[in-house]
């Protein structure tokens, strides 16, 4: 068995343990807290520290925590009970963090809904999870128009935070999308902030549930005393006191209501994914999964408190953006510089103005930023670390961005089923392009034969990557409580997690320097702009078109997004080829990143195996041949 501690590597080369970053423990003590405890901890340690900045509106950690408490009280008034699912359909705005932590404080389970989805995709998720309440951007109201609407929808609007001349444009776009100029509150629809401010008297009772104050030896008065001590200290003394407080805080016992084992098995977050076999599913993460992954990343970055500023433009509804920015940012008591969408020019302005130190990105973002920086060099030297994941990072892209900024650019790796981060490049001189780095603390790895998954390959050979650690999911929704003999099975019976080992579906090897490399994907997953596209889902939509008899999709190289979707289509007898019509049909039924960007009509049948299964590899080969000519 190969693990991060005793894993074999080529003879005479460094082992993964040998090149582990100095100062990063290989095993950690994790706080026994629910996921909302990270924000509570930040509010206790540094209440006045800026938590997030968005469109010139700011929240401190104390203010953010208080608004989360208000949200919990509002959700309880709306009838949300422990275990109820509450959807979040928001872009990167402060309300996402507030709503998420409020749901958890109300003992609900948060459900990630993508603003990039189409109504039928959102409706499927609402049906699968039986959401009681959804907190949504008003501009996205049309996405909650299917038959499985929640009992209550609470809307957030960006309009009040826009300049006056832009507010009219916002109303015009909302009218075009929703069909309404005004959105009035009623029995089933309300406004998020109105609900929060409806009854502030409920806050006093809930405020006492702060984890930092749950220990009889750590009362509210004690918490205030600590804050006064910090305020009266010199900067150097204050830094020492904060580091000591951070260490001591995580060792305090949790509330009597929930034991650590309960947080490890209590669902906290449900998010859609294709699973490791490509079928759309809903990953279920526990409170402990999420806290652990944030804590692992916090220590990987040096375990500094209140020193980092994060550029937060990765979508929070994606597990990568949520774990690295929202939860990881809270763990390090950082400041999140948010924007609701990625715009290269605006991101450059945000970096110049707010001087973030950490930037989690996908390769497509760096490609777009490089293009802008070639036209107009800018001072982005505040960036220390750029951690790129979601898709393979071309070395030329990484090197260009490093030259433009002076930052250390490293790659990382993960999957939603692992909360999601499992590997990150070392944040020192041993990092290099073409490698996903090393496993995070307490993350074990094996590389097994890709065909059977039953035996470990020789050192340096290629096999399927398996990971095991405290960040591995509870299971897929509706299967969480059906575990037998320690095995979570997908619908086809293929084990995803066996004895704690998560089968990633990716082929990997350990290089001579001890760093892990992803060689290729075992499955047919397409990654475009950092977003996963699962062929079966796109193919099913294409097959539902009345003119289409059969279809298959593959990923084709793209300079900006890494890959885009190409569809091979077989028409029904007598049907006429109309690419525009099929493309418009995809726009109606698929999120933008899932839509094919190229179509090819197949006069004959698709290539198949003797069992009748479509061989996508041969379709990819035809694309490669055309590209080479």
pLDDT digits 0-9 by tens, 148-167: 999 999 999 998 888 888 88
pLDDT tens for each residue of 7-56: 333 333 456 667 899 999 999 999 999 999 999 999 999 999 999 999 98
Q: Of 282, 312, 331, which marks where a domain is finished?
A: 282
pLDDT of 520 > 60? The answer is yes
pLDDT tens for each residue of 125-150: 999 999 999 999 999 999 999 999 99
Residue 273 has a pLDDT of 82
Contacts for 194-197 with beta carbons within 8 Å, 24 or more apart?
195/74, 195/77, 195/78, 195/154, 196/67, 196/70, 196/71, 196/74, 197/70
- Beta carbons within 10 angstroms of residue 454's beta carbon: 7
Contact 59, 52 (CB under 8 A): yes
pLDDT of 493 > 70? The answer is no
Its pTM stands at 0.82
Residue 372 within a domain: no
Dump strand ranges (E) for 437-486.
438-439, 444-448, 463-468, 475-476
pLDDT tens for each residue of 59-72: 999 999 999 999 99
Residue 210 has a pLDDT of 56
Residue 599 within a domain: yes
Residue 445 within a domain: no
pLDDT of 629 > 50? The answer is no
Residue 413 within a domain: no
Residue 374 within a domain: no
**What CATH number did the domain enclosing 251 receive?**
3.40.50.980
Contact 460, 454 (CB under 8 A): no
Task: Assess whether the previous peptide bond of 420 is cis (omega < 30° from 0).
Answer: yes
Cβ partners under 8 Å of residue 334, min gap 6: 306, 307, 308, 309, 310, 328, 358
pLDDT-derived band at 207, boundaries 50, 70, 90 = very low
| Residue whose structure tokens are 């279809």 | 551
- Per-residue CA distances from 199 to 74, 76, 189, 452, 456 (Å): 8, 12, 18, 59, 59
Residue 613 has a pLDDT of 66
Which is nearest to 595 in space by CA: 545, 546, 549? 545
Residue 346 has a pLDDT of 96
Contacts for 601-605 with beta carbons within 8 Å, 24 or more apart?
601/569, 601/570, 601/571, 601/577, 602/568, 602/569, 602/570, 604/570, 605/550, 605/570
**What CATH number did the domain enclosing 547 receive?**
3.30.300.30
Residue 495 has a pLDDT of 53
Q: Of 256, 282, 308, which marks where a domain is finished?
A: 282
For β-strands 501-510 and 463-468, DSSP reports them as antiparallel
Q: Of 261, 282, 303, which marks where a domain is finished?
A: 282
- Per-residue CA distances from 525 to 21, 262, 429, 594 (Å): 32, 34, 32, 11
Residue 98 within a domain: yes
pLDDT-derived band at 197, boundaries 50, 70, 90 = confident
Largest CA distance in the chain: 83
Residue 518 within a domain: no
- Look at the chain and report how many structural domains it folds into: 2
* Boundaries of domain holding 611: 526-628
CA distance linking residue 41 with residue 214, whole number of Å:
12
Contact 390, 530 (CB under 8 A): yes
Residue 564 within a domain: yes
Lowest pLDDT segment from 174-188, 246-260, 296-310, 361-375: 246-260
pLDDT of 586 > 80? The answer is yes
If residue 285 lies in a helix (H) or strand (E), which one and from where to where? strand 281-286
Cβ partners under 8 Å of residue 248, min gap 6: none
């Amino acid at each position: 068995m190969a693990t991060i501690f005793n894993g074999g590597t080529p003879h005479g080369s460094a082992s993964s343990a040998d090149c582990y970053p100095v100062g990063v423990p290989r095993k950690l003590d994790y706080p026994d807290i629910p996921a909302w405890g990270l924000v509570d901890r930040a509010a206790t340690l540094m209440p006045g520290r800026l938590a997030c900045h968005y469109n010139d509106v700011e929240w401190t950690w104390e203010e953010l925590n208080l608004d989360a408490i208000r949200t919990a009280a509002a959700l309880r008034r709306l009838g949300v009970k422990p275990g109820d699912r509450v959807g979040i359909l928001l872009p990167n705005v402060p309300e996402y963090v507030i709503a998420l932590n409020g749901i958890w404080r109300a003992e609900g389970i948060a459900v990630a809904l993508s603003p990039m989805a189409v109504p039928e995709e959102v409706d499927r998720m609402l049906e699968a999870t039986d959401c009681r309440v959804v907190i949504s951007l008003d501009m996205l109201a049309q996405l909650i128009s299917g038959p499985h609407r929640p009992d209550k929808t609470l809307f957030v609007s960006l309009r009040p935070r826009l300049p006056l001349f832009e507010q009219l444009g916002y109303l015009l776009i909302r009218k075009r999308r929703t069909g309404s100029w005004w959105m009035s509150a009623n029995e089933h629809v309300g406004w998020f902030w109105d609900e929060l401010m409806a009854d502030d008297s409920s806050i006093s009772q809930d405020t006492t549930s702060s984890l930092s104050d749950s220990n009889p030896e750590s009362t509210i008065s004690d918490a205030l005393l600590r804050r006064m001590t910090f305020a009266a200290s010199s900067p150097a003394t204050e830094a020492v006191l904060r580091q000591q407080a951070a260490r001591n805080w995580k060792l305090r016992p949790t509330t009597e209501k929930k034991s650590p084992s309960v947080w490890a098995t209590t669902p906290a977050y449900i998010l859609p994914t294709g699973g490791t076999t490509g079928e759309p599913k809903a990953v279920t993460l526990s409170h402990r999964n999420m806290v652990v992954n944030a804590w692992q990343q916090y220590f990987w970055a040096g375990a500094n408190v209140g020193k980092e500023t994060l550029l937060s433009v990765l979508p929070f509804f994606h597990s990568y953006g949520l774990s690295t920015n929202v939860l990881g940012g809270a763990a390090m008591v950082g400041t999140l510089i948010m924007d609701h969408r990625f715009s290269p020019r605006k991101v450059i302005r945000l970096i110049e103005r707010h001087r973030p130190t950490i930037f989690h990105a996908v390769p497509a973002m760096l490609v777009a930023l490089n293009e802008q920086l070639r036209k107009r060099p800018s001072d982005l030297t505040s960036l220390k670390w750029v951690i790129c994941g979601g898709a393979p990072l071309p070395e030329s892209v990484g090197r260009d961005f490093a030259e433009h900024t002076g930052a250390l650019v490293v790659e990382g790796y993960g999957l939603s089923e692992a909360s999601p981060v499992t590997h990150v490049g070392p944040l020192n001189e041993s990092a290099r392009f073409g490698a996903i780095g090393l496993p995070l603390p307490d993350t074990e790895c094996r590389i097994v034969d890709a065909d059977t998954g039953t035996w470990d390959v020789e050192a340096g050979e290629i096999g399927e990557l398996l990971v095991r650690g405290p960040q591995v999911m509870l299971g897929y929704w509706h299967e969480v409580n059906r575990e037998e003999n320690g095995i979570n099975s997908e619908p086809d019976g293929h084990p995803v997690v066996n004895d704690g080992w998560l089968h990633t579906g990716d082929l990997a090897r350990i290089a001579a320097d001890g760093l892990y490399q992803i060689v290729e994907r075992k499955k047919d997953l397409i990654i475009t702009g950092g977003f996963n596209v699962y062929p079966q889902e796109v193919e099913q939509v294409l097959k539902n078109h009345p003119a289409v008899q059969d279809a298959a999709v593959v990923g084709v190289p793209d300079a900006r997004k890494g890959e885009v979707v190409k569809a091979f289509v077989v028409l029904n007898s007598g049907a006429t080829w109309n690419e525009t019509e099929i493309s418009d049909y995809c726009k109606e039924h698929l999120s933008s990143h899932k839509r094919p960007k190229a179509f090819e009509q197949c006069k004959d049948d698709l290539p198949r195996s003797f069992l009748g299964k479509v061989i996508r590899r041969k379709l990819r080969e035809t694309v490669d041949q055309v590209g080479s000519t």
